[in-house]
Amino acid sequence: MRYVLNDAAGVKKLLRDRHHINSAQFLGDYNAVDTLVDLNSAISSAGLTDRQAESVAWVYGVDLTQAEAARQMGITQPTVKQSVDEAAEKIAAVYRKWNYGEIDVEYALDDETEAA
């Protein structure tokens, strides 16, 4: 899978897929390990607000919908969307500062893993 990390859409795609990438590291994929370490560093360096960090954690960490995350947080879905969008842009800005462009990470999807 190709990820363009210097824009918010690519960061969201990486955040969405990080559970799959996480499973690849246990199969000896060192590129997956590097990708996750860099993602965690980028998140830590992005200067996210508490609301942005919590929104990202609910939506991409726990895999809740934005509406479900909003209910958990006691805010509206549009506010969660705005927080996620702003967080993704801040994370992308860190990747831009690091001169990241595109990366490729290979991983098996759950149904491919079960079939093997």
The reported pLDDT for the residue numbered 32 is 87
The reported pLDDT for the residue numbered 112 is 44
The reported pLDDT for the residue numbered 24 is 85
Residue 5 has pLDDT above 60, yes or no: yes
Distances (CA, A) of 114 to 8, 32, 38, 100: 32, 20, 28, 33
Residue 110 has pLDDT above 90, yes or no: no
The reported pLDDT for the residue numbered 114 is 40
Q: What is the pLDDT of residues 68-98, one digit of tens each?
A: 999 999 999 999 999 999 999 999 999 999 9
Which ranges constitute the DSSP H helices of the chain? 8-25, 30-45, 50-56, 66-73, 77-97, 110-115
Q: How confident is the model at residue 48 (pLDDT cuts 50, 70, 90)?
A: very high
**SS3 assignment, position 50:** helix
* Alpha carbon 29 to its chain's center: 18
The reported pLDDT for the residue numbered 109 is 64
Print the domain residue range for 30: 2-115
CA atoms within 13 A on the CB side of 50: 1
Residue 55 has pLDDT above 60, yes or no: yes
Spatial contact of 58 and 64, defined as CB atoms under 8 Å apart: yes
pTM above 0.85, yes or no: yes
DSSP classification of residue 109? -
Q: How many residues does the chain have?
A: 116
The reported pLDDT for the residue numbered 28 is 81
What phi and psi values does residue 76 have, to the nearest 5 degrees?
-90, 160
CATH at 96: 1.10.10.10
d(CA 98, CA 1): 21
What total number of domains does the chain contain? 1
